[in-house]
Homo-oligomer: A and B are copies of this chain.
């Protein structure tokens, strides 16, 4: 139930890179973090639409965080990439059923959702960016470093 998509992992690594570099182009993030350029472009665009990064087009342009890394919660990043957490349909779609408060399974899933959300709200991008990270962390590619 709980595989984090590569896309989300890439987003986190790209943002950690931005947090430490203060801003960079897709091409440079791509080579520093070894993420496919074209794929990364789409990810950064998505992060931009969610207001997490801002971009400058044209020569000399690139991406920057829209606010301090400490103010970007991990849940913001996850939500930007995957939408709101929704373990099962009826948790956030009231048209699916009308049982709500009386349905035990729903309460169970809701509890799970709260638990995950609580954690994702308790960590921010600054927490990650301050520390060393392995370049390919989590994606099972190589084993090198990028400590800026």
| Interfacial residues, chain A to chain B (CB-CB below 8 A) | 1-5, 8-9, 12-13, 16, 74, 78, 82, 85-91, 93, 96-99, 102-106, 108-109, 111-113, 115-116, 118-120, 123, 127-128, 130-134, 136-140, 143
Contact = CB atoms under 8 A, between A and B. Distances in A.
A85 B90 CA distance: 23
B140 A87 contact: no
Nearest to A136: B97
A23 B99 CA distance: 26
B105 A128 contact: yes
A113 B119 CA distance: 10
Contacts of A1: 2-5, 8, 78, 82, 85
Contacts of A99: 132, 134, 137, 143
Contact of A138 (B2, B109, B115, B143): B109
A15 to B, nearest CB: 11
19 contacts: A1-B4, A1-B8, A1-B85, A2-B86, A2-B116, A4-B87, A4-B88, A9-B105, A13-B105, A16-B105, A88-B138, A90-B137, A97-B137, A97-B143, A103-B137, A104-B132, A105-B137, A109-B138, A111-B123
Contact of A115 (B87, B90, B119): B119
Contacts of A103: 132-134, 137
Given A2-B1, A138-B89, A143-B98, A112 B119 contact: yes
